[in-house]
Amino acid sequence: MATPQQSDSAAPRRKASRHRGEGQWAVGHRTPLNGNEQFKKDDDGLNVRTRIETIYSRRGFDSIDPNDLRGRMRWWGLYTQRKPGIDGGKTAILEPEELDDKFFMLRVRIDGGRLTAQQLRVIGEVSQEYARGTADVTDRQNIQLHWIRIEDVPAIWEKLEAVGLSTTEACGDCPRVIIGSPVAGIAADEIIDGTPAVDEIHERYIGSKEFSNLPRKFKTAISGSPVQDVVHEINDIAFVGVEHPEHGPGFDLWVGGGLSTNPRLAERLGTWVPLAEVPDVWAGVVGIFRDYGYRRLRTRARLKFLMADWGPEKFRRILQDEYLGRELLDGPPPAEPRSRWRDHIGVHRQQDGNFYVGFAPRVGRVDGATLAKIADLAAAHGSDRLRTTVEQKMIVLDVAEDQVDSLVSGLESLDFQVRPSPFRRGTMACTGIEFCKLAIVETKARGAALIDELERRMPEFEEPVTINLNGCPNACARIQTADIGLKGQLVLDGDGNQVEGFQVHLGGSLGLQAGFGRKVRGLKVTADELPDYVERVLTRFQEEREQDERFAA
Ligand code: SF4
């Protein structure tokens, strides 16, 4: 049984050490060292919901307390979006309030990417009624809506919660959405179904004040698929399906991954965790993060920095000794995934003889009306279950064999390809300057245009290739793990004018050979040059590749 500390008074209090300066609660340092720690101490992020329902939604945007507006509202999936018309050159020089629009982005939390047709239909309705029809499938299986007015938030919650959806802890310094294999429980090649663990963690800990004040966000991934379809390498904690030679199917535990400006791959603790123990082990690791995580600087507050200092052996010892009170079993690493594509696109047979059909929106962009059409289409073909993926794609489950062709035609008539080009399949883009206050460049429209252009120019290209576009130096679209990673920034064009463009990173990958792409020194392309540049890189790869060589720098 996990023994995470329940409250301030119960947290371990030890003599202050040299780590005191990092603001670690577990070594006795409880004084907030920055504004974020202060507002979290002043009032729990989860408490803002009552104020939204009883004050802010009635009195309007201007009544919102600044610490709620830019802080606690995230605990309920709400961020202010960027005021339209402010170019990327102003991102770093304007005050946050000058970038704030009076509208919000709202993130709908979808643990395991699991949706019923009815839930998807309701998200589509909310999008059309309250979000000007916007809807983006994110690379963490959520769906984001934009143009939300604070006045409408209680009604939106009512609609979402009536069908079992929520925005609880969709953002904020807390356990974010639990990524799960989108084909958990149905894939014919599954090692183990992690769904019971996803559900139990959600039931016990999401929305609980036990973990609602962490040093920063905490990302979880659980998959028993041999395809390893949850980007476990870059999560704070991941449980990856393995077969133990004596004990059978279970999970290999990975800790401390994360991207952003200091990317770090997660490390194995070398343990085998049976399904029933996943929630307790998860709580132990989150407890370590809450109690020992660094709280002085936001830039050092992710779990990866603690892991970098401790290493996996010490981390495992503290987990066992202080949080679980028992030894964990040693276990084997997962095998190399069989395919470079981990997205379940295409038509695949399930365990029960039915089929699942994965399809590809462009860079995750859909809209509310189309979400409702997808839900209707799935239902008309006998399916009540859909999934989102970490590649900004979607899947319809439980399709009878004689319904597959009709469903594929229906999806393709909505411009969702089931057999997409590698460009449509492998390109992702973050939110970018359209809505994100940190953005320097536009990403979604550019990513979609790049796909179309490459399909036109290179119709014969068939290699798996990933092209990820970020709108700023953060890593919401995982540029460091892409074959071609594009980090948005202002660059100079041929006439010396500052224009939107990208710093290029080449050769990132996931899997057992995981590594971050190399920043190609000095290689920056303007947005207008992007299709020419990518075409040149891919053509050269085709011409010079050795047999079986994969794309790399
Ligand atoms: Fe915003 Fe930057 Fe994240 Fe893109 S990568 S969504 S621009 S913070």
Distance 18 CA to ligand 1 centre (A): 35
* Confidence band of 526 (pLDDT split at 50, 70, 90): very high
Per-residue pLDDT tens digits for 266-300: 999 999 999 999 999 999 999 999 999 999 999 99
* Confidence band of 96 (pLDDT split at 50, 70, 90): confident
Per-residue pLDDT tens digits for 476-504: 999 999 999 999 999 999 999 999 999 99
Per-residue pLDDT tens digits for 425-469: 999 999 999 999 999 999 999 999 999 999 999 999 999 999 999
- Tell me phi and psi for residue 354, to 5 degrees: -75, -175
Two tokens at 307?
């892991």
Distance 274 CA to ligand 1 centre (A): 36
Mutate to test the pocket of ligand 1, among 107, 431, 479, 481 (most ligand atoms within 8 A of CB): 431
Two tokens at 480?
């460091």
Distance 431 CA to ligand 1 centre (A): 6
**Ligand 1 closest atom vs CA 437:** 1
Q: 60 near 401, Cβ under 8 Å?
A: no
Distance 436 CA to ligand 1 centre (A): 6
Contacts 24+ apart (CB under 8 A), 442-448: 442/471, 442/500, 442/527, 443/363, 443/469, 443/470, 443/471, 443/477, 443/488, 444/136, 444/363, 444/365, 446/527, 446/530, 447/362, 447/363, 448/362, 448/363, 448/365
**Global pTM value:** 0.94
Mutate to test the pocket of ligand 1, among 80, 144, 176, 474 (most ligand atoms within 8 A of CB): 474
Residues 107/286/25/21 CA torsion (nearest 10 deg)? -80
**Ligand 1 closest atom vs CA 472:** 2
d(CA 24, CA 206): 23
pLDDT value, residue 533: 95
* Confidence band of 543 (pLDDT split at 50, 70, 90): confident
Mutate to test the pocket of ligand 1, among 87, 140, 144, 470 (most ligand atoms within 8 A of CB): 470
d(CA 403, CA 429): 32
DSSP alpha helices (H): ranges in 267-367? 278-292, 303-318
What is the bridge-based pairing of β-strands 248-255 and 498-506? unpaired
d(CA 36, CA 211): 16
Distance 473 CA to ligand 1 centre (A): 8
Ligand 1 site residues (CB inside 6 A) read 430-432, 436, 438-439, 470-472, 474, 476
pLDDT value, residue 97: 85
Average pLDDT over residues 97-114: 95
Residue ranges of E strands in 165-210: 175-180
Distance 435 CA to ligand 1 centre (A): 9
Residue of the CA atom closest to atom 2 of ligand 1: 472
* Confidence band of 168 (pLDDT split at 50, 70, 90): very high
In terms of Cα–Cα distance, which of 64, 59, 154 is closest to 106? 154
Distance 226 CA to ligand 1 centre (A): 30
